[in-house]
Amino acid sequence: MSVNQDNGWTKPVHTGVLVLASGEVIEGYGLGAVGEAVGEVCFNTAMTGYQEILTDPSYAAQIVTFTFPHIGNVGANEDDIETVDLARSAGAVGAIFGAPVTDPSNFRAESTLTSWLEKRGIVALCGIDTRALTALIREKGMQNAVIAHSPDGRFDMAALKAKAAAWPGIDGMDLVPTVGAKERFDWRETTWKLGAGYGAREGAPKYRVVAIDYGVKRNILRLLAEQGCEVIVAPATATSAEILALKPDGVFLSNGPGDPAETGKYAAPVIRDLLAAKVPTFGICLGHQMMALAVGARTRKMPQGHHGANHPVKDFTTGKVEIVSMNHGFAVDRDTLPENAVETHRSLFDGSNCGIALTDRPAFSVQHHPEASPGPQDSHYLFRRFVELMKEAKAA
Instruction: Give the mean pLDDT of 249-263.
Output: 98
Count of CB atoms situated within 10 Å of the CB of 134: 21
| 3-state SS class at 132 | helix
pLDDT computed for residue 268 by the predictor: 98
Q: What percent of the chain stands above pLDDT 90?
A: 94
Determine the number of helices (DSSP H) and then strands (DSSP E) in the chain. 10, 21
| 3-state SS class at 263 | helix
pTM for the model stands at: 0.96
Q: Compute CA 126 distance to the chain's CA centroid, rounded to the nearest angstrom.
A: 22
Identify which of 149, 81, 150 has the alpha carbon closest to the alpha carbon of residue 111: 81
Identify which of 244, 214, 27 has the alpha carbon closest to the alpha carbon of residue 126: 27
pLDDT computed for residue 2 by the predictor: 44
User: Using one digit for the tens of pLDDT, what is the confidence trace for 171-201?
Assistant: 999 999 999 999 999 999 999 999 999 999 9
4-8, 178-182, 258-262, 347-351, range with the lowest pLDDT? 4-8
86 pLDDT exceeds 80?
no
Phi/psi for 358 (5° steps) reads: -90, 140
Q: Compute CA 217 distance to the chain's CA centroid, rounded to the nearest angstrom.
A: 8
Instruction: Give the mean pLDDT of 238-247.
Output: 98
Identify which of 182, 200, 184 has the alpha carbon closest to the alpha carbon of residue 192: 200
pLDDT computed for residue 89 by the predictor: 76
Q: Is 285 a catalytic residue?
A: yes
DSSP secondary structure of 304-367: EEEEEEEEEEEETTTTEEEEEEEEEEEEE-GGG--TTEEEEEEETTT--EEEEEESSSSEEEES
pLDDT band for 12, please (50, 70, 90 cuts): confident
Q: Is 183 a catalytic residue?
A: no
Query: Taking each helix axis from N to C terminus, what angle separates 218-226 and 381-395, rounded to the nearest 10 degrees?
Result: 50
Average pLDDT, the chain: 95
Question: Where do the domains of the chain lie, and which CATH numbers do they carry?
Answer: 3-166 (3.50.30.20), 176-395 (3.40.50.880)
Q: Is 70 a catalytic residue?
A: no
pLDDT band for 281, please (50, 70, 90 cuts): very high
Identify which of 380, 381, 382, 264 has the alpha carbon closest to the alpha carbon of residue 332: 264
Instruction: Give the mean pLDDT of 222-239.
Output: 98
Query: 166 CB contacts (<8 Å, ≥6 apart)?
Result: none
Contact 325, 354 (CB under 8 A): no
298 pLDDT exceeds 50?
yes
Q: Which is the catalytic residue, given 285, 306, 354, 368?
A: 285
Instruction: Give the mean pLDDT of 315-337.
Output: 98
Contact 303, 366 (CB under 8 A): no
Instruction: Give the mean pLDDT of 10-16.
Output: 83
1 pLDDT exceeds 80?
no
78 pLDDT exceeds 80?
yes
User: Using one digit for the tens of pLDDT, what is the confidence trace for 122-171?
Assistant: 999 999 999 999 999 999 999 999 999 999 999 999 999 999 999 999 99
Rounded Cα gap, residues 387 and 208, in angstroms? 10
Cα angle value 73/4/115 (rounded, 5°): 25
From the number of C-beta atoms within 10 Å of its C-beta (0-12, 13-18, 19+), residue 29 rates as buried
pLDDT band for 347, please (50, 70, 90 cuts): very high
Which whole-number Å values give the CA distances from 307 to 69, 202, 219, 330, 356, in the listed order?
16, 35, 18, 11, 20
pLDDT band for 87, please (50, 70, 90 cuts): low
Instruction: Give the mean pLDDT of 192-220.
Output: 95
pLDDT computed for residue 285 by the predictor: 98
Instruction: Give the mean pLDDT of 8-36.
Output: 91
